Structure 1
Amino acid sequence: MVALDADHEAWTAAQSSTTAVVDGNELDVAYYEAGGDNDGPPAIFLHGIPTWSFLWRGIAPAVAEDRHVIAPDLVGYGNSQRSDDFDRSIRAQTSVLSELIAEAGYDEVDLVAHDIGGGVALRYAAARPEEVRKLVLSNAACFDSWPVEFINSLGVPGVVEGWDDEEFEGKMSFLFAEGAHGEADPEFVAGMRAPWARDGGRTALSRAAVATNTNHTTGIDYGEITAETLCLWGADDVLQPIDNAERLADAVAGDAAVVGLDDAFHWVTHDRTETYREEVRAFLAD
């Protein structure tokens, strides 16, 4: 198990890999996996942009004490495949999720998702409501709430590729700034920045930004989602405000609750790790 204070290199070392076929492309998918044959369906953790499964380092290992957990890197992100020849959109990521679940032979899963990972979870839960028991959504891309201006700017040709090292580090520190005072936690920033700092990473980040498509969440039939849903939200987020959580709770067909965590912004899993972890464990255990 990866400890809470483990860095991104230890998380990478703990990952395994598999493949998924999307639009005829066989793509490498890296994932973190822990836990045994515990009670309940497996819990699958989905990150967003521009993060990777390292986002869940303080959450997934603890949940693995209760059940089997899997936290993949979305294709185009983290240690998954990042070449230029495939789609990285929510539609494509949902296809990857479907393949991973089918390959593992799961009949039912719980999904815990953040940012565009939330869009993936929502799209999957609406298409296969009988396969999703519980759904945790955190500061999720939904309806027409995204992409935000900063992510849009990353997709402009040449912008990210044109940053020098100092500018790149400054942008990442700004994006992952912690709390109301805008202070960035060095370990968190370093972990989130690491995949994009490798060769080809800035191009991969630009490709991920270009692939954001509002139509992939506006087109979801939210009323088809029957999973019991917890909108566990960073209450002070300005990128995905908590009003979106209320809108989601009203839209889904299953029982839904909204829990706002104060002093938490978009990176709620980092800002309020302990409380977030216990809320997730309690919700999935019911």
Structure 2
Amino acid sequence: MEHDEWTEQLESRTVTVDEHDLEMAYYDEGSGDPLVFLHGIPTSSFLWREIAPAFTDDYRVIVPDMVGYGESAMHDGFDRSIRAQELAVADLFDQLGLDSVSFVGHDLGGGVGLRYAVHEPDAVDDLVLSNAVCYDSWPIERIVDLGLPATIEGMDVDDLTGLLESVYHATLYGDDADDDFVEGMVSQWASEEGMVSLSRNAIGTNTSHTTEIDHGAVEARTLMLWGAEDEFQPIEYAKQLEADIDDADLVGLEEANHWVPEDRPEAYREELREFLEE
């Protein structure tokens, strides 16, 4: 699925975070128990284009763009940390009438899912964490650098998009990166507003927002569905989560780096469906 085709399916609502009213875009298809997919940095809901639609026959599938990303609000002047993103998705869930969800989170989206599962244990039935930020596993230096105002001030749009393209091509598993995927992820940042938004997103990566929670307090049935060859969030963190969460299992997908839904979509779908149907 191409990026334009994906974004044409998105809806939007106004969520409130720290007294800021912000537009939040999201995909909402299917009927049944709610199944939420949340991306990380520097991606968007487009990360799930090969995964989420496959579940709409059996679930109500909801895939937000976090605020500051994708088709959601990108203007300056609001917090984009995972603490703020948790508030944003919680408000979205309330507006959509979702009392409880199955929550699938990648990267920062996994950190949001962890916080939400700890703070709202009755609201998360199942939790799936894919190469998720946790403990003190983050941020990585490359993202921190993007968060420094001087870094963005020294770039133009072509510089930034070229950098991001090189990062994706270097960190997708194998030699044949999907150009639609790379273009879709990079295009959201290809403006002055997008550059500043990415920088603010990057500086909002606050280690304290996962070190302050008790990961062992997660009550939801949990699966770590992890790209086994991740250089950003190594699988050792998934093993630590498996040890700390009472009802947790780990599935490591070989031949998958950090972008595991993109590297191994078929295997990802199969493992996720098997877990949800247990």
1:7 match:
2
Task: Give the one of 182, 195, 214 matched to 2:207.
Answer: 214
Give me the whole-angstrom Cα distance separating, in 1, the residues matched to 2:250 and 2:208.
Answer: 25
How far residue 180 of structure 1 moved from its aligned partner, in angstroms, is: 4.9
Aligned with 2:24: secondary structure?
A: strand
2:66 match:
74
How far residue 199 of structure 1 moved from its aligned partner, in angstroms, is: 4.2
Task: Give the one of 154, 165, 168 matched to 1:176.
Answer: 168
Deviates most, 152-161 or 243-252: 152-161
Give me the whole-angstrom Cα distance separating, in 2, the residues matched to 1:128 and 1:165.
Answer: 40
Give, as a single letter, the amino acid of the residue that structure 2 aligns with 1:135: L
How far residue 170 of structure 1 moved from its aligned partner, in angstroms, is: 2.5
How far residue 281 of structure 1 moved from its aligned partner, in angstroms, is: 1.6
Q: Does 1:266 align with 2:258?
A: yes
Aligned with 1:163: secondary structure?
A: coil
Aligned with 1:258: secondary structure?
A: strand
Give me the whole-angstrom Cα distance separating, in 1, the residues matched to 2:18 and 2:228.
Answer: 37
How far residue 221 of structure 1 moved from its aligned partner, in angstroms, is: 1.4
Q: Does 1:248 align with 2:251?
A: no
Over the matched positions of the two proteins, sequence identity in percent amounts to 50
Q: Does 1:23 align with 2:18?
A: yes
**CA deviation digits over 1:6-37, x for unaligned, max 9?**
2111111110000111110111000011112x
Task: Give the one of 85, 93, 102 matched to 1:93.
Answer: 85
CA contact (8 A) 2:173 2:263 kept: no
Give, as a single letter, the amino acid of the residue that structure 2 aligns with 1:134: D
CA contact (8 A) 2:36 2:103 kept: yes
After TM superposition, list the pairs within 5 Å mapping 1:142-221 onto structure 2.
Answer: 142-177=134-169, 178-181=171-174, 184-221=177-214
Give me the whole-angstrom Cα distance separating, in 2, the residues matched to 1:165 and 1:139.
Answer: 28
**CA deviation digits over 1:173-201, x for unaligned, max 9?**
22212545565432111010011013411
TM-score in terms of structure 1 length: 0.93
Count of equivalent residues: 277
Task: Give the one of 11, 15, 36 matched to 1:44.
Answer: 36
**CA deviation digits over 1:60-113, x for unaligned, max 9?**
000112100100000011110011111000100000111111122222110000
Q: Does 1:225 align with 2:221?
A: no
**CA deviation digits over 1:105-137, x for unaligned, max 9?**
222110000001010000000011111110110
CA RMSD of aligned residues (A): 1.4
**Runs of 5+ consecutive residues of structure 1 not aligned to the other structure:** 1-5
